[in-house]
Amino acid sequence: DVKVTQSSRYLVKRTGEKVFLECVQDMDHENMFWYRQDPGLGLRLIYFSYDVKMKEKGDIPEGYSVSREKKERFSLILESASTNQTSMYLCASSLGRGNYNEQFFGPGTRLTVL
Amino acid sequence: GNSVTQMEGPVTLSEEAFLTINCTYTATGYPSLFWYVQYPGEGLQLLLKATKADDKGSNKGFEATYRKETTSFHLEKGSVQVSDSAVYFCALSAESGDYKLSFGAGTTVTVRA
């Protein structure tokens, strides 16, 4: 069974802290994605990666960075957390090239920044 | 740019009622179209997809037809169950093949027994 796991389901951090969200997939997928989900806005793409050590900005990259040192792992970093980064963060992965490929999602991390 | 517009919720139905969630899109060429579902406390999972015009995707009693002429991909189910209560997202992946999904805002559906 395919699986995308995220390091935490719930996380509470303070303003200014550096925050790491980890995502691991066991499907040998080339592509990995980080989204944030907010009510009424759907999912918005933060960053994505189509290969190890590669990264591309999504629609809302400001305040975030990413790291992909191994194929199966994609980390989202909040360099200095702010209250407007309180949100649900979803990681996803997909296979290879082609716009018809399904993305597989992790369960999400609900981050609260105080 | 690419965008997806889906009907606003929330939608509340009784069991065995007919469900329609409208979805229209803006994109150049021939995108692939998807419906994802998010059950309470879970991540998203693919419900169905269609990759070319006039294709019909179907799964778990849900159906959606890719209509190029109306740029639509409406989701339908003839008889809903309480277990269909979830948030439904329409999404597209552009023909240009950069693997990104553009999502609609999501529609919350609640089915009452």
Interface test with A, best of B59, B88, B101 (most A CBs within 10 A): B101
Please give the average per-residue pLDDT across B92-98, as a whole number.
78
A41 to B105: CB separation less than 8 angstroms, yes or no: yes
State what percent of residues in chain B have pLDDT above 90: 79
Closest Cα in chain A to B6: A42
Give the mean pLDDT per block of 10 residues along chain A (114 residues): 88 97 94 93 93 91 96 97 97 82 92 98
d(CA B46, CA A37) in angstroms, rounded, equals: 16
Q: How far is CA B84 from the centre of its chain?
A: 13
The beta strand positions in chain B, using DSSP E, are 3-6, 11-14, 19-21, 23-26, 32-38, 44-50, 56-59, 62-65, 75-77, 86-93, 102-103, 107-112
**Candidate from B31, B41, B44 with C-beta closest to A90:** B44
Which chain A residue is nearest to residue B1, measuring alpha carbons? A59
| CA of B30 vs chain A CAs: smallest distance (Å) | 10
Give the tens place of pLDDT for each residue, B30-74.
Answer: 899 999 999 998 889 999 999 999 999 999 999 999 999 999 999
B95 touches chain A (CB under 8 A): yes
| Mean pLDDT across B72-77 | 98
Q: Which residue of B has its CA nearest to A43?
A: B103
Contact check, Cβ <8 Å, B99/A107:
no
